[in-house]
């Protein structure tokens, strides 16, 4: 049997592989394992399974296995483990389908061999492929890479709130089995706030806003080791050491928007147009909520739902047994310059209380008056 040292010497980077070549050796890291799915078309039916692999240069390649090959290789490739792949067929990327490589896709053959490599996989060269939020906004409707921190998840599709070292908050929408696999993983890591690298996600402009979402070929690296990640990790560790809750920090938008007076808002002298933001200083003079400052909200439309024995009904969606969540709704009165204004805060109420809604509810569920958050209420 060929030794690991011999495999290392024969190994080629993916960038050097040629279309239709069948004899080669590559060393790759598994960064995505899809769910095994059933398929049916005019020519055949069965099961299929997709792998996304990356080499030490950060070049990715994917392979889709079908039927007996799924059973043959499903247990051989584990997430975040590296392998030598010996021989296979390099087909051209299908023009009508998304691919992580512009030109090639990997197909297994009868003589394909796979050897697990126990040594640490080096990712130091990955940095070159990643971009910032600002740069991403200039590449709308294309594939890009984004580094960020995790936030909260949602069911069916999952929306993960991500931020960078400048507190730029964005929503990353996870779709399909990415929402099921990686979404569940992120939910379990929510309290850890790890550094993430999202690969091959899509940026676009939706209703005037810059948004990010996964594609069928997206992948995720958790706490990867390369320069840009290390810088972000250092900043993240510093925030944790200071016990700073990133979700409660003012966003860059809040720091840069125009400062106005409350009278400017009341007399209508400000331009009220889409994507126009203002900020003002005021004193909270009263809170209108006669009950707790949160409600059960439909996850689809965010309207208030009726919950009976853990089952929720949304009259707005005209649906029963829907997914719901707790959501802030805080009604406050503020004053400034002898002027009065009534404001309703939804998610932004966490900045007033200093905690997420789930923490507020947990803290006030028994002895409400003893809760540090309720005393602010």
Give the percent of the chain with pLDDT over 90: 35
Q: Which of 83, 117, 151 is the last residue of a domain?
A: 117
232 within some domain: yes
* Alpha-helical regions (H) of the chain: 4-10, 68-73, 133-136, 176-188, 227-241, 252-256, 262-266, 349-353, 357-364
Residue that terminates a domain, selected from 61, 96, 117: 117
Residues 90 and 137 in one domain: no
- Annotate 318-333 with b (16+ C-beta within 10 A) or e (fewer): eeeeeebbebbbbebe
Domain identity same for 48 and 162: no
Q: Kindly state the tokens that stand for 345.
A: 């805060």
**Does the pLDDT of residue 173 top 70, yes or no?**
yes
The confidence band for 142, taking pLDDT boundaries of 50, 70 and 90, is very low
pTM: predicted TM-score of the whole model, two decimal places: 0.67
pLDDT tens, position by position, 70-88 = 999 999 999 999 999 999 9
Q: Are residues 181 and 107 both part of a single domain?
A: no
Task: Tell me the average pLDDT across 160-173.
Answer: 79
Which of 22-31, 148-157, 219-228, 269-278 ranks highest by mean pLDDT? Answer: 22-31
pLDDT in the model for residue 232: 79
Estimate to the nearest angstrom the gap between the alpha carbon of 268 and the chain centroid: 38
Q: 236 with 306, same domain? A: no
Q: How far apart are CA 67 and CA 48, in angstroms?
A: 6
Tell me the CA end-to-end span of the chain in Å, nearest whole number.
70
Together in a domain, 233 and 186? yes
Whether residue 179 is found in the same domain as residue 271: no
Q: What is the pLDDT of residue 148?
A: 46
9: domain CATH number is 2.40.50.140
- Please, are residues 28 and 54 in contact by the beta-carbon 8 Å criterion? yes
> Hunting for tokens 């923490």 — which residue is that?
359
Q: Confidence class of residue 149 from pLDDT cuts 50, 70 and 90?
A: very low
Sheet holding 311-314, edge to edge: 306-308, 311-314, 319-320
pLDDT tens figures, 89-116 = 999 998 888 899 989 999 999 999 999 9
Tell whether 244 and 132 lie within a shared domain: yes
Task: Name the DSSP class of 41.
Answer: -
Range of the domain at 28: 4-117
Residue 65 domain-assigned?
A: yes
The encoded tokens of residue 365 equal 């569920």
Residue after which a domain boundary falls, among 58, 91, 117:
117
**72 and 92 together in one domain:** yes
- Report the domain count for the chain: 3
Say whether both 263 and 290 belong to one domain: yes
Residues 112 and 128 in one domain: no
Which region among 187-196, 210-219, 240-249 has the lowest average model confidence (pLDDT)? 240-249
Do 141 and 209 share a domain, yes or no?
yes
> How far, rounded to the nearest angstrom, does the alpha carbon of residue 218 sit from its chain's CA centroid?
11
**137-146, 151-160, 178-187: range with lowest mean pLDDT:** 137-146
Q: State how far the Cα of 77 lies from the Cα of 82, in Å rounded to an integer.
A: 8
Q: Give pLDDT, residue 156.
A: 59
Average pLDDT (314-341) is 91
Instruction: Kindly state whether residue 280 falls inside one of the protein's structural domains.
Output: yes
* 253, part of any domain: no
Q: Please state, in angstroms and rounded to a whole number, the distance separating the CA atoms of residues 334 and 44.
A: 66
Whether residue 254 lies inside any domain: the answer is: no
Q: Name all contacts of 171-177 with Cβ < 8 Å and 24+ positions apart.
A: 171/211, 171/212, 172/146, 172/148, 172/198, 172/201, 172/212, 172/213, 172/214, 173/211, 173/212, 173/213, 173/214, 174/213, 174/214, 175/213, 175/214, 175/215, 176/214, 176/216, 177/34, 177/35, 177/37
């Amino acid at each position: 049997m060929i030794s690991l040292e011999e495999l290392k010497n024969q190994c080629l980077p993916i960038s050097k592989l040629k279309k239709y070549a069948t004899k080669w050796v590559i060393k790759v890291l598994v960064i995505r394992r899809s769910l095994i799915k059933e398929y049916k078309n005019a020519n055949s039916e069965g099961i299929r399974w997709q792998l996304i692999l990356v080499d030490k240069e950060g070049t990715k390649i994917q392979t889709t296995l079908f039927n007996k090959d799924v059973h043959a290789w499903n247990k051989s490739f584990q997430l975040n483990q590296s392998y030598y792949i010996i021989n296979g067929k390099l087909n051209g990327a299908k023009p009508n389908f998304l691919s992580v490589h512009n030109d090639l896709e990997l197909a297994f053959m009868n003589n394909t061999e796979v050897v697990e490599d126990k040594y640490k996989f080096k990712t130091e060269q990955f940095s070159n492929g990643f971009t910032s939020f600002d740069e991403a906004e200039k590449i709308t409707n294309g594939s890009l890479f984004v580094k960020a921190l995790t936030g909260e998840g949602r069911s069916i599709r999952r929306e993960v709130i991500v931020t960078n070292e400048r507190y730029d908050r964005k929503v990353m929408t996870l779709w399909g089995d990415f929402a099921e696999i990686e979404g569940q993983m992120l939910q379990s890591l929510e309290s850890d706030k790890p550094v993430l690298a999202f690969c091959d996600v899509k940026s676009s402009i939706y209703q005037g806003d810059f948004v990010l979402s996964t594609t069928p070929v997206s992948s995720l690296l958790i706490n990867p080791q390369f320069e840009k990640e290390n810088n972000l990790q250092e900043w993240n560790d510093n925030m944790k050491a200071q016990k700073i809750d990133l979700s409660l920090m003012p966003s860059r938008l809040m720091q840069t928007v125009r400062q106005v007076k409350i009278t400017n808002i009341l007399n209508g002298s400000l331009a009220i147009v889409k994507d126009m933001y203002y900020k003002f200083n005021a004193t909270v003079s009263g809170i209108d909520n006669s009950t707790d400052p949160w409600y059960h909200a439909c996850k689809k439309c965010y309207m208030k739902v009726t919950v009976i024995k853990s089952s929720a009904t949304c009259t707005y969606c005209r649906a029963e047994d829907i997914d719901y969540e707790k959501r802030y709704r805080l009604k406050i009165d503020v004053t400034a310059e002898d002027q009065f204004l009534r404001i309703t805060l939804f998610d932004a109420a966490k900045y007033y209380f200093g905690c997420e809604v789930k923490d507020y509810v947990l803290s006030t569920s028994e002895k409400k008056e003893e809760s540090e958050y309720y005393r602010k209420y």
